[in-house]
Structure 1
């Protein structure tokens, strides 16, 4: 083996090959169309929700500010992976360069980490709204909302920078084929020819810390919320509070459940097929489900939609 080949194998000089979803499908063309439709639904649903929140003064509240931030993350989330996957399938290309892979990994991990903390901020917001309604306008003003949202983005970017830097500095001397449809950290680490057990333990610890803080905030917030709802005398108040909070908890379970499987379950329980299904669920399907969950069960949003679609007759 000459020095050039050795250097390419150990520094990541050659491109990776994304085997993707389509290599596992008997009908790749049909799957491509389905994913494209899902992509358009996610883009349209989140864009409409963002526009509704921006254009309707009735929705200029902390809760909808955080929902709009979630929609922005979902749009970016699906843009990081799906367009390249579809273009590669149409053009018959499966390669991704090392810099492109690193950028995709950084953006993906950043958005995932940011969403961890954003869901915690949303739970804290609901706790203040339900348990401290009189002090809520002071405790959750616009400046605090911006501070919390900025903190979510910052913590997510720190997580993305650390995991991407560590992962992409490993020597890759095995097959360059990634059994995935994008550059996810666990899939890339499997290609390394060095011992990754230490970094896997560090990644596990990092994920525990990244999940522990938001999960603690979320579980504490909803424990107090449930106690407050139980003490409410108004049946209508209980119903409204429970509906709003149950929508948020649905999103939390969907997102956190899939993430825990990907980053915290031991490798012995993983198979390439299972990893693809789980990643497909929380990378492609979740951005479609989130706007539906927050709009279909929310009277304020459905009311804003009806108001927007209501065309006054011209005489």
Structure 2
């Protein structure tokens, strides 16, 4: 969520904007440096108070209290959705987040929340990472080859025959979620799955699809790179001309893992004021630096049918 560094000009803009008008939480955090790891909400002054990892004050910024959620959980086929508190607790790094709060502000009576309705712009997300899902093939492919004959139509009066021949590659994947991730549960998110090349069987191909993170949920995706080539032949008098194409269809079994990654803020709302404030937030990425500890993986498996329209030759008889 943080940039690796914040330019002086960006911070000056944020600082000036904070003095003049309220700014959204997301706009503030995008300009703050990475060593700002936690932010308090001062509800009396309507300010966000930013602190560095060592606890030193970084700055105070006027808070935008608009109740407007730009990332609703039910938005279909996006790459991100809202994280729930129950999902957050399944992360390997959850105890690290809680310990961070305990060490900074104590273990007093409090409520731990994500995506608070009062401040929706200061939320937490689950995203399928922008890296392609790497699928692998298992076992040996099952293949079948056929010869496809296409007849031509006479064009003109000189016995010339034009024949349309399909050339290229298609792939259709039919997959299922064999094990759901523990975050982003039941949500439908967009993903890209890369299938490797198999010599003389299948080209390398990346398919775009939508995955619903529910056990046994199925999904399909296809790729079509077939084009039509026109073959022109001279037909001897009294003969019929055809184009014969070699078509090979192979079925392969595939598996893969889809990474769901948590980011954003966890809020610790204390019943009593602690260190000057009631509400404190911890940045997930800063507290849990190992991406695997803030990730959960869905496992997918299924079949891929690859069809290659290869060489052709003309024949008149």
- TM-score exceeds 0.5: no
* TMscore range, shorter length: under 0.3
Q: TM-score, normalised by structure 2?
A: 0.21
Higher relative contact order, chain-length normalized (CA < 8 Å, sep 6+): 1
Q: TM-score, normalised by structure 1?
A: 0.21
Structure of larger gyration radius: 2
